[in-house]
Every structure is written in structure tokens, then in C-alpha cells.
């Protein structure tokens, strides 16, 4: 199920049984698939992917090939970038995960 408020860019995809609601935005070749649930103001860019049984909500941004899958739960102001991969556990609140360039 994809809400009408979701933006899916020309090269992005939502497939399988994914549920995507709110102001979610997919750019570049990003993808949401599987049984993932994505809500609120999440943004995916640069070949990022959310899949599996993941639940992602809040102001979460994935960029530069970041991935969330498995049974991961991610909530709040979280930035995953530069090949970061979360597949288990819970991330919540203001944090950045990935290689940072100074």
C-alpha cells in the first residue's frame, strides 16, 4: 500500500507488500520492498534501500547506498549514509550512522 502523499521519483521503486505512508520521498534509484513499513517524513536517496520486516518512521534519511532490512526498527532523527547497513535492533533519536567526510 502506498499513500497518495508519497513521492516516488522516476528511477525509484516501491514493491512487494511494502506499506509506505506519510510524506515519504524516494529519489534516484532508491527502493522500499518486502514487508517493510515506512512512515512519516522519511527520505531515501542514492541507491538506498529499506526491505525485509523493517519498520522505519520519523525523520529518517538514507543516502549513499545505505540499507535497513531484517527486523530493524528505526525511529526519529536518524541519518544513515555511505553504505551503512542496519538489519537488527532499534535505533532511535538524533544520530548519524556511516562514514563521515570532514
Say how far apart CA 1 and CA 37 lie, in whole Å. 10
Segment 13-49, tens digit of pLDDT: 999 999 999 999 999 999 999 999 999 999 999 999 9
Secondary structure percentages of the chain, helix, strand, coil, to 5: 0, 40, 60
pLDDT for res 102: 53
Q: What is the DSSP letter of 2?
A: B
Domains identified in the chain and CATH numbers: 7-97 (2.160.10)
Asked if residues 51 and 32 have their Cβ atoms less than 8 Å apart, the reply is: yes
Q: Kindly report whether the global pTM for this prediction surpasses the value 0.85.
A: yes
SS3 of 13-55: EECCCCEECCCCEECCCCEECCCCEECCCCEECCCCEECCCCE
Amino acid at each position: 500500500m502506498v499513500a497518495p502523499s508519497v513521492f516516488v521519483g522516476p528511477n525509484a521503486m516501491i514493491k512487494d507488500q511494502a506499506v509506505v505512508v506519510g510524506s515519504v520521498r524516494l529519489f534516484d534509484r532508491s527502493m522500499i520492498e518486502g514487508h517493510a513499513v515506512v512512515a512519516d517524513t522519511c527520505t531515501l536517496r542514492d541507491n538506498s534501500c529499506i526491505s525485509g520486516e523493517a519498520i522505519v518512521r520519523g525523520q529518517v534519511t538514507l543516502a549513499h547506498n545505505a540499507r535497513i532490512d531484517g527486523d530493524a526498527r528505526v525511529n526519529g532523527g536518524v541519518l544513515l549514509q555511505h553504505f551503512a547497513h542496519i538489519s537488527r535492533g532499534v535505533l532511535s533519536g538524533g544520530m548519524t550512522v556511516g562514514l563521515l567526510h570532514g
